[in-house]
Structure formats: structure tokens, C-alpha cells
Chains A and B, each alone.
Chain A
Amino acid sequence: DTGVSQDPRHKITKRGQNVTFRCDPISEHNRLYWYRQTLGQGPEFLTYFQNEAQLEKSRLLSDRFSAERPKGSFSTLEIQRTEQGDSAMYLCASSADPGNIQYFGAGTRLSVL
């Protein structure tokens, strides 16, 4: 097990395009989290899953954002009609249960031109 992996590592897109990111958590972890980090700030919570159920969404997650975790394994985060303000690092983390430590992936850096 190599930890949490995210793909792609970098994504450059034009404003208005749709993008999709993938996260593969540590295999035995049932909880999966998405965070967004902009320059000079810490990670901000977006949403989380327990197995395949999406249990909480931040108000930061506008209706242009959608996340899924089919079969409770990998997760995807889609951003529709991207805007320049969506440019950020998107981090995925997983944990075995709520009390345990969250392990982060290296992130996907999105640049919207």
C-alpha cells in the first residue's frame, strides 16, 4: 500500500471547461475527505464520505462541484464550468474512522486560465 494517491497531479484548463479529479484512498480506510488549499492558506474542508455515502458538504462546495465515491473505494471530484477562482490545490485524505489520523495525498493542482 503506497498511501493516498491522486490523479492528475496537475491540471490546466480553460475557464468554462469541466474537470474531474480522482482519489484512491488507503485500501482499508472507510472515510474519505476532500479539501481545497489556496496559496498561503491552510486546507479547507469540502466534503467527506463514509464508505459510499456522502455525509457532509461544506458551503464552499457550490452546485458546480460534485463528488462521488462509488462502491466506497476511489472517489472523484468534478468541477463544472470552471472559474478562475477555482484555481487551487485539491487535497484528498482518508482515515480508518473519525478518531483516527487523516492521511493526505499529494494533491491535484488546478489552474484555470
Chain B
Amino acid sequence: DQQVKQNSPSLSVQEGRISILNCDYTNSMFDYFLWYKKYPAEGPTFLISISSIKDKNEDGRFTVFLNKSAKHLSLHIVPSQPGDSAVYFCAARPYNTNAGKSTFGDGTTLTVKP
């Protein structure tokens, strides 16, 4: 039972356009969500997060939207740049947990074409 799902394995967009990456979750206990970016031969790097008390969090070109009733979140990148080409992982966890461990989706490979 996969609790965090990224249904699009890949996404290709033109430079300067918007990239929208989607993520769905099933566990109602999740109330803190993170996006990580991963380049080849590197570990995942934290990008942006959102807690369930918000429905939007913005950091520069990156915005995460959370629809708690639909158990859905999305990452918007505007404008997309070739350097954004990477694998993007959605992760989720209960916020008030001792562990802090995250459950990850399988990732979406974003390709931004010049």
C-alpha cells in the first residue's frame, strides 16, 4: 500500500513555462509535506515544505499548494529553467512525531528544454 503517490513518472516542459508536479497521499495522519529535488549521483536536497494548517507556501520560483480534503499537493515552478531538470520527490509525515521519518513517493523526472 503506497501511501504517497506521484502518478507521473516524467514531465517535460519548455524553458520559461510553468512546471506542475503532483502528489497524492492516503494516510490521514500526514500533516507535513516536503518536496525534495535530486540530481544524478547526489542525495535528495530539500526544496520546500508545507504544513496542513496552510494551503500554500511560496519560496521564490517554487510554490507548493495543499488540498487537504482531496489529499493532494502540487509543486509549481515558474518560470522553469534548464537547471531545474532533476527528479522531484514528494514526502509526507505526521508533524508531531518523535521520529520525523518521511514517507516518499517514487518521484517525477522533470526535464526543462531550452
Q: What residues of chain B have their CB less than 8 Å away from a CB belonging to chain A?
A: 4, 6, 9, 34, 36, 41-46, 49, 89, 91, 95, 97-107
B100 touches A91 (CB 8 A): no
A42 touches B43 (CB 8 A): no
* Band of interface residues on A: 20 to 34
Given contacts A103-B46, A105-B43, contact A31 B103 (CB under 8 A): no
Could you count the A-B residue pairs with CB atoms below 8 Å apart for me: how many are there?
A: 62
**Could you tell me the dominant secondary structure of chain B's interface residues?**
loop
Q: What residues of chain A have their CB less than 8 Å away from a CB belonging to chain B?
A: 4, 31, 33, 35, 40-45, 48, 50, 55-56, 91, 93, 95, 97-107
A102 to B101, CA, bound (A): 9
A43 touches B44 (CB 8 A): yes
A43 touches B100 (CB 8 A): no
A45 touches B103 (CB 8 A): yes
Q: Which of the residues A4, A42, A48, A100 comes within 8 Å of B105, measured between beta carbons? A: A42
Q: Which of the residues A56, A91, A98, A101 comes within 8 Å of B49, measured between beta carbons? A: A101
A104 touches B44 (CB 8 A): yes
Q: Which of the residues B34, B43, B95 comes within 8 Å of A4, measured between beta carbons? A: B43
B106 touches A102 (CB 8 A): no
Q: Which of the residues B99, B100, B104 comes within 8 Å of A42, measured between beta carbons? A: B104
